[in-house]
A and B are shown apart, each in its own frame.
Chain A
Amino acid sequence: MSDYTQMWSDLGLDLAGHDALLSVLGGAYQDIFLSQKNRPEGMKYFDFVMSEVHGLRIKELMDAKAQGRIVVGSYCVFVPEELILAVDGVSVGLCAGAEFNFEGAEEVVPRNLCPLIKSAFGFKRGLVCPYLEASDIVVGENTCDGKKKSYEVLGPMVKDLYIIDLPQMKSDSGRMLLKEEYRKFMTKLEEKSGRKITAEGLTKGIETVNAKRRAVKRLAELRKADPAPISGLDALLVNQVFFYDDPTRFTASVNALCDELEERVKKGEGVFPKGTPRVLMSGCPMAVPNWKVPFIIETSGAVIVGEESCVGERGTRWLTGDEGGGVAEMLEAITERYFKIDCAVFTPNPSRVDHVRDMFGRYNAGGVIHYSLQFCHPYIVESGPVEANLEGSGIPVLRLETDYSQEDSGQIKTRVEAFLERIQEK
């Protein structure tokens, strides 16, 4: 990796803190990813991306800004990438997956709060995230209580915080609200970028994002095989990189990886032996670099074959309708697409458990591990009925609630092992 010190310094990063973060990240990556056996060659691209996560990619963002393009950072899959691309902007998902500078975070938000939110504040107050510092707009959204109120605190800390309001019910008025919010967001993007959103621009945006989605859906399909040709950890990494890599390059790399995986499937080659217990994960998203629970699962003798999560199939399963038309029609198509996402902040949220059941069958899973972040009320309360519903149909479920710390790794491992013992007995 080149010397990016000047670039980081120009962005206003705390160099010492940033170095500390990078070295922890590097160490974790080595222990978790590079120690895996029989990884597909195609993962080398993603290893490279991760090794340059604060380097080359940031340079690309800075170059884009120098060309007059805007960088738009966001925290949630409800923020339409298509619209950002339509103003020739760069869309980056802001990481919030590490327990870093929680002391700094806890000075402004309560301690008893979702670690994802605290991580976002930890990074901001510690000045260690170049994506955050490079963002021309930071987009927040009124999803869960924690985020909704935390953005009020984040606002004064960033250059330009823009909040998208979201509906709480999947009703006609909810759909109308979402569309109106997206329309306002378009205006904001136009104002900030100085570019007008045209039908042509939107068409291209939709095409680009759909291509990305098709690629990861293709990857998901290939995990149906037994033995699984790729580990859950690696697939998760691909789903995480989805949020901030250059879309076209990402799509090509995922397709190349899929080509290789297809060969593996033909030959019956996998990363774990055939018959390894297959687990489906469901619940809260795992933001990079949160790899804790998948690591425990895949070092306890199981393979993760799918994720019903926003960093996973819930976020990528739908394509935006590409029938074309004018800007108005495409906005409608975009609204329609995003409105389908079944995050637990919606009430009621019946399609989610159906989706989990469907994935369980499609990926030939043996059990579902429901993952919630500590203090996440929507997912934790919803996990009760979800578990009861799935168990009622004979699907074994383990509910986990955890944060980013390593404190409870032993306890998590015990529960995972016991669960795997249970599903293997079937």
Chain B
Amino acid sequence: MRAGGLDIGSRTVKFVVIEDGRTILARKALTSHDPLEAARTLIAGIQYDVIVATGYGRHLLKEHLDCPVISEIKAFALGAKAIHAPCRAILDIGGQDTKAICLNESGEMAKFEMNDKCAAGTGRFLEIMANALNYTLEEFSKAALSAEHAEKINSMCTVFAESEVISLTARGASRSDVALGIHKAIVSRSTALLKRIAPSGEVFFAGGVALNECIRALIAEDLNRPVVVPPDPQGVGAFGAALHAQKVGAATGGNNETVLR
């Protein structure tokens, strides 16, 4: 049985298909202004027996894709646990929100905290700051890693931080020092969220921002605990949704292929 998981995020849509617990397909695309179209394109022509949707756009698709939905929190918890069984704490920094999830001994979701009231400290924040400093995202991370000293960024607000960055460089601060300051600001904000609900234990770090090497290094340093990053950090939610789809499929006898109208 092929089980599909569709994670419709605010910035990217991810689709994963698993068979017998193994990933046989993983794709992603930009959500753009039309999540329905993006999702449709992504799953077009792919064979699956059951599909589960998750993410910010899961309800938007309700009329067009009549399938079970789970919250992205549960999806991440399922995915993380399957990829790295010993993890008890999950940190997901995505395009527009940050989530911290604490698992109990049985690996079930216990507590969670989300920060989605504003995009400060998320992937979007990184993008805007990189742009303000005239870097691509890859260059941004490398520059931050190369800096010896960080320029302290005081504003948490994306808009005000951008002004702050510009005024810092205008005053002669080095771009890489500012880059490191930005990365540190994101990390302290995210780890604060995590520490509220999971003060100890191994951390599974995923979400788009986990692709950033500098962030990964700083998170490990800040938390002083083992931090595990999966090979495909962005796909964890879709993977978890696919796992749930597998369970649903097994319970209902499989083969309730749903069509994205």
Contacts and interface: CB of A to CB of B under 8 A. Distances in A.
Direct interface between A and B, CB < 8 A = yes
Interface of A: 391, 408, 410-411, 413-415, 417-418, 421-422, 425
Interface of B: 56, 59, 70-74, 108-112, 114, 116-117
Contacts, number: 34
Contacts of A421: 70-71, 73-74, 109
Contacts of A411: 114, 116-117
Contact of B109 (A391, A410, A413, A425): A425
Contacts of A391: 111
Contacts of A418: 71, 73-74, 109, 112
Contacts of A408: 117
B108 A414 contact: no
12 contacts: A410-B56, A410-B59, A411-B114, A414-B71, A414-B72, A414-B114, A414-B116, A415-B114, A417-B71, A418-B112, A421-B71, A421-B73
A391 B198 CA distance: 14
Nearest to A397: B111
Contacts of B56: 410, 414
A422 B59 CA distance: 19
Contacts of B117: 408, 411
Given A414-B56, A414-B116, 5 more contacts: A414-B114, A415-B114, A417-B70, A418-B112, A421-B74
Contacts of B72: 414
A408 B117 CA distance: 8
Contacts of B73: 414, 418, 421
Nearest to A401: B117
A31 to B, nearest CB: 16
A43 to B, nearest CB: 28
The 9 closest A-B pairs by CB, nearest first: A418-B73, A418-B71, A417-B71, A421-B74, A422-B109, A425-B108, A411-B116, A414-B71, A418-B74
A391 B110 CA distance: 10
Nearest to A396: B110
Contacts of B108: 422, 425
Contacts of B59: 410, 413
Nearest to A420: B71
Contacts of B71: 414, 417-418, 421
Contacts of B110: 422
B245 to A, nearest CB: 15
Contacts of A414: 56, 71-73, 114, 116
B19 to A, nearest CB: 25
A372 to B, nearest CB: 15
A421 B70 CA distance: 8
A425 B114 CA distance: 20
A413 B72 CA distance: 12
A425 B56 CA distance: 22
A424 to B, nearest CB: 10
A26 to B, nearest CB: 26
A200 to B, nearest CB: 55
A15 to B, nearest CB: 37
A425 B110 CA distance: 10
Nearest to A391: B111
Contacts of B114: 411, 414-415
- Between B56, B70, B112, the greatest number of chain A beta carbons within 10 A of the residue's beta carbon is seen for B112
